[in-house]
Amino acid sequence: MDFLMGKGKTMMQSLKWRVSTPVVVGMVLLGCGGAGQTQPTVIGPAVQTWVTLTDQSKLLSLEAGKNFTNKQSTLPLNIAVDPLQRYQEIVGFGANISDASAWLIQNRMNAQQRSALMADLFGKAPGIGLSFTRLTIGASDFSLRHYSLDDVAPGQTDYLLANFSIDPMRADVLPVLKSALAVNPQLRVMASPWSAPAWMKSTNSLIQGTLLPQAYGAFAAYLGKFADAMEAEGVPLFALTLQNEPHFEPPDYPGMRLDPAMRARLIAQNLGPLLAARKTPVRILDWDHNWDEPQAPLQVLADPTANPYVAGVAWHCYAGDVAAQTQVHNAYPDKETYFTECSGGDWKPYWAETLPWYMRNLIIGTTRGWAKGVLLWNIALDENHGPHTGGCTDCRGVVTINSATGTVTRNFDYYALAHVSRFVRPGARRIDSTSGLDGIESVAFQNSDDHSMALVVVNSATAERRFTVTSAGQSFEHSMPAASVATFVWAGAP
Give me Rg for the CA atoms of the chain. Answer: 25
Whether 249 is a known active-site residue: answer: no
Intra-chain end-to-end CA distance of the chain, in Å = 19
CA distance 75 to 210: 58
Strands 440-446 and 453-459: antiparallel
Contacts of 467 (CB under 8 A, 6+ apart): 75, 77, 78, 79, 437, 440, 477, 478, 480
Contacts of 469 (CB under 8 A, 6+ apart): 47, 78, 79, 81, 455, 475, 476, 477, 478, 488
Check if the beta carbon of residue 427 is closer than 8 Å to that of residue 89: yes
CA distance 210 to 255: 9
- Amino acid occupying residue 288: D
Whether 245 is a known active-site residue: answer: yes
The full length of the chain comes to: 494
Q: Which of 341, 383, 441, 477 is catalytic?
A: 341
Other C-beta atoms closer than 10 Å to the C-beta of 464 total: 11
Check if the beta carbon of residue 339 is closer than 8 Å to that of residue 362: yes
- Asked whether the bond before 297 is cis by omega within 30 degrees of 0, the reply is no
- Asked whether the bond before 126 is cis by omega within 30 degrees of 0, the reply is yes
Contacts of 138 (CB under 8 A, 6+ apart): 147, 148, 149, 168, 193, 194, 195, 197, 206, 254
Question: What residue ranges in 239-299 does DSSP mark as E strands?
Answer: 239-241, 283-290
DSSP string covering 10-28: -HHHHHTT-TT--EE--SS
Q: Which of 89, 231, 233, 245 is catalytic?
A: 245
Give me the active site residues, please.
245, 341
